[in-house]
Chain A
Amino acid sequence: MATWVIASVTWRELVRRKLVFALLALTAIVIGVTGWGFSRVPGLHLDGQPLTQGEIHTAAAQLLLLVMFMFSFVLALTCAFLAAPAVAGDLESGVAQGLLARPLRRRELILGRWLGLALPITVYTVFSTTLEFGLVHWTTGYWPGQPIAAEAALLVEGLVLLTFTLALSTRISAITAGVIAVIAFGTMWLGGVAGAFGQVFHNNAITNVGVVTHFLIPTDGLWHAAVYAMEPSAFATEAARGLGSSFEAASGPTAGYLAWVAVWLVAVLGLALFSFQSREA
């Protein structure tokens, strides 16, 4: 019950602080701009010849992956900026003292904050990506192979960073937690790029950097899961030949990897609960 009270206050804060309005407005702008871009693709010419349907799909898929990469970056930043002050801000300002003096368990405060941020992030991700996929299909006829899996992977990528930042927020200041989270996200992405390089040059040491970063904070691993769900099969074949990049994936995530992501999420959320439980308010 108290968890939902905290969650509902968090939602109300997002609305009152006009974050929801800002996200809706920016989404509308992005959809408008990318929609115009995708609508031009079928009219393009290559060597004086109009594009074939296959070429249109390939071009649309590449553009979609680029747009979704930008979306995943924006989503990660949004999650980091929302979660960083979620606990640390209340502790620094003194708001937490008033809340925790009530018959409210500390875990209810953390879980309420997590839910209060995770649910709007879920709605935003599903709404934006569905709109973008629909737009691409309407303008170019391309439809990702596994749209629901792609949305799920992007969403969980955001939730991973949200949870990681929230855990940091229980111990360090909001600004530091946010900066660490963004740097960690960028580092994991670079680790993924390094791993792809390692595969191209058959260098096990560099390849392992990518493997480790996929497990350490699974944002890049989930991005590749989203890529696999969105790309045409030709891209996967190309990636399998060792020509992979951040915009191609040879295969989807294994069941073991998905299980690891679930364990990671639960463990880091548990760490946040333990960390907050054992500190002074």
Chain B
Amino acid sequence: MLLGLAQPTSGEGMVLGSPLGTLEARRQVGYLPELFRYQSWLKAREVLGLHCRLAQLERSSWPAAIKGALATVGLSDRADDKVAGFSKGMQQRLGLGVALLGNPRLVLLDEPTSALDPVGRHDVREVVRGLRDQGAAVFLNSHLLSEVELVCDRVAVVDHGRVVAAGRLDELLARPQVRVRCTGLSAEARQALSAFGEITDDEGWLTVGGIGSDRVPDLVRAIVDGGGRVHAVDPGQQTLEERFLQLIEAA
């Protein structure tokens, strides 16, 4: 809808100051579709050339733009090969190169690492960080939440088309918590630990929710003072995937 590929049934929106879907909005956006396919009978360089023309870039800037895009996505040595001979991962790299042409202010990446190996995923993360450093906004849509966690500043969780949570990643993740494996703790001492946060038992582990990392030593001391023996301390951070499942279940 941002790019005019689907029509809104109602309402309106703006992209970089232009009504969504308009030519002006699309001029400032780079896009890698989830279903990335490019003309199989063209060479990689020619696909980029076609998009330079369609993006209405200055003709004089085409060679540098194409060379830069190929280098960024690691396809410089395959520039004159036809897309038909590309693996899915190479086609996805090419698609990323297409999205980067013309230094767009907004880049929409739909599942950009779905066909890539670990090296490719690392490269995409570097590209995304590079775009961020250049001042571009990157809109990353992915089911690989570990990837999202590694590169995104802000996250929105969507369930059945509705945003169920949105915000900065550190805000979105649940309160910090620490897990302590301990024995010999009296009931009174356990009760006293609630001063540190919400206490839950989980197969020999005590989980203290909402505790700041600076208070963990105090917590350990309180357990020992209460007669408990500490076997392990795990200052675990909730992953985005765990938080995602929580949110979806709650929704």
Distance (Å) between the CB of A202 and the closest chain B CB?
A: 54
Residue A101 is within 8 A (CB to CB) of chain B in the complex: yes
Residue B127 is within 8 A (CB to CB) of chain A in the complex: no
**Which residue of the partner chain B has the closest CB to A93?**
B37
Residue A48 is within 8 A (CB to CB) of chain B in the complex: no
Residues of B near A102 (CB, < 8 A) are 26, 51, 54-55
CA distance A175 to B33 in the complex (A): 25
Q: Is the CB of B37 within 8 A of A94?
A: yes
B residues 90-113 near A (Cβ < 8 Å) are: 95, 98
Residues of B near A100 (CB, < 8 A) are 3-5
Residue B221 is within 8 A (CB to CB) of chain A in the complex: no
Distance (Å) between the CB of B44 and the closest chain A CB?
A: 14
Cβ 8 A contact of B33, one of A2, A9, A101, A104: A101
Cβ 8 A contact of B41, one of A5, A17, A281: A17
Residues A280 and B7 in contact in the complex (CB < 8 Å), given A13-B39, A16-B41, A95-B38: yes
**Which residue of the partner chain B has the closest CB to A96?**
B5
Q: Is the CB of A103 within 8 A of B54?
A: yes
Residues of A near B31 (CB, < 8 A) are 97-98, 101
**Which residue of the partner chain A has the closest CB to B50?**
A9
Distance (Å) between the CB of B111 and the closest chain A CB?
A: 12
Residues of B near A13 (CB, < 8 A) are 39, 41
Residues A278 and B41 in contact in the complex (CB < 8 Å), given A5-B54, A98-B95, A103-B23: no
Residue A22 is within 8 A (CB to CB) of chain B in the complex: no
A residues 7-64 near B (Cβ < 8 Å) are: 9, 12-13, 16-17
Residue B150 is within 8 A (CB to CB) of chain A in the complex: no
Q: Is the CB of A94 within 8 A of B41?
A: no
Q: Is the CB of B50 within 8 A of A5?
A: yes
**Which residue of the partner chain B has the closest CB to A97?**
B33
| B residues contacting the other copy or chain, number (CB 8 A) | 27
CA distance A12 to B170 in the complex (A): 51
**Which residue of the partner chain B has the closest CB to A277?**
B7
Q: Is the CB of B50 within 8 A of A94?
A: no
CA distance A100 to B36 in the complex (A): 13
Residue B6 is within 8 A (CB to CB) of chain A in the complex: yes
Q: Is the CB of A98 within 8 A of B5?
A: no
Residues A99 and B6 in contact in the complex (CB < 8 Å), given A13-B41, A105-B23: no
Interface string of A71-102 (1 = CB under 8 A from B): 00000000000000000000001110111111
Residue B56 is within 8 A (CB to CB) of chain A in the complex: yes
Interface string of A99-131 (1 = CB under 8 A from B): 111111100000000000000000000000000
Q: Is the CB of A280 within 8 A of B41?
A: no
Residues A281 and B6 in contact in the complex (CB < 8 Å), given A98-B95, A101-B31: yes
Q: Is the CB of B55 within 8 A of A103?
A: yes
CA distance A103 to B31 in the complex (A): 12
Distance (Å) between the CB of B21 and the closest chain A CB?
A: 10
CA distance A102 to B108 in the complex (A): 12
Q: Is the CB of A280 within 8 A of B37?
A: no
Cβ 8 A contact of B27, one of A5, A17, A103, A281: A103
B residues with a Cβ closer than 8 A to A are 3-7, 23-24, 26-27, 29, 31, 33, 35-39, 41-42, 50-51, 53-56, 95, 98
Beyond A95-B38, A97-B5, list 17 extra A-B contacts (CB 8 Å). A5-B50, A9-B39, A13-B39, A93-B37, A97-B31, A98-B37, A101-B26, A101-B29, A101-B33, A102-B26, A102-B51, A103-B23, A103-B24, A103-B55, A103-B56, A104-B26, A281-B6
